[in-house]
Amino acid sequence: MSRPPAGAPWPTAATRLVALLGWPVGHSLSPTMHNAAFAEQQLDLVYLALGVPPDELTGVVQALGASGAIGANLTVPHKQAVVACCEHLTDEARLIGAVNTLAWTTDGLLGDNTDAAGLRLALRAEVDLHPGQRAVLLGTGGAARAAVVALARCDLEVVVVGRRPDAAAELAALATRAGAPEARGVDLADLAVVGEAVASARLVVNATPLGMSGEDLPEPFHALHEGQVAYDLIYSPPLTPFLAAARAAGAEGHHGLGMLVGQAAAAYRRWTGQAAPVATMSAAAMRVLTAH
């Protein structure tokens, strides 16, 4: 799987594909990170972002497998839907109920989830957290499912806020299974309860796509204060309205690049069998972010 010698034409007919499947994907830094890593380790692989409408997902996954792709990542809105395409799931993907990494193996298509591990690593590196503190999570999609597992593994009390109370309650139950000392779901429509939960939280996490195009979050999430931490899983743009409001009020604000790099490194190891050059991946992503 080594690349041709320096100066030789590349890519070649032997170059293998890794793809990101999402809708949209134009903002993604994953191609930048993975291609920088492949180049450093001289792997004959190329990573491309493919915009895939939801009703085309199954066909695209099947086509990638038939074409000899070695793996893929999934982003919004495909992380839960792609589970049905997998012949095998890792224990982590089965627990979370969502897949962000595919690998074509001799035993068939394997679905994995590296998001929870990536977020946990990022939180440990970036945020001073202590067991028993409260974390409020907005969202109930595939990214949110991984996030509640990460928060539970940090020994935090978890409050899940969602537009559908049944979905929020389901994610709270997932947090409990993953080890959270306490977890509950809250209906986003109950703004008084949401406001109370947010006001008493150490960590407030946005696990929705809101903010990618400059949208505000629901009002209580723009009322953080000093001593709190805002963490947005969005990394592009690096400053969403949620993070801007948090920092203006004296709270910490962190975008999701650390999580992106962490989950990418775990996926890279699954595809290549090699440890990812994390510093190279992070630096490549930062160059793009700071250029905008």
Q: Which residues are catalytic?
A: 79
DSSP H helices in the chain? 30-40, 57-67, 91-96, 115-126, 142-153, 165-177, 191-199, 241-248, 257-272, 278-291
> What is the rounded CA–CA span in Å between residue 209 and residue 175?
21
Burial 108-144 (b: 16+ CB within 10 A, else e): ebbbbbbbbbbbbbbbeebeebeeebbbbbbbbbbbb
Do residues 30 and 47 lie in contact, with contact meaning Cβ atoms separated by under 8 Å? yes
Q: How far apart are CA 145 and CA 207, in angstroms?
A: 9
**What are the structure tokens assigned to 256, written together?**
């999701």
Pairing, β 101-105 against β 71-74: antiparallel
201's CB contacts (< 8 A; 6+ apart) are: 133, 134, 135, 136, 159, 228
Q: What tokens appear for 78 in the block?
A: 């495909």
| Alpha-carbon gap, residue 76 to 21, rounded angstroms | 8
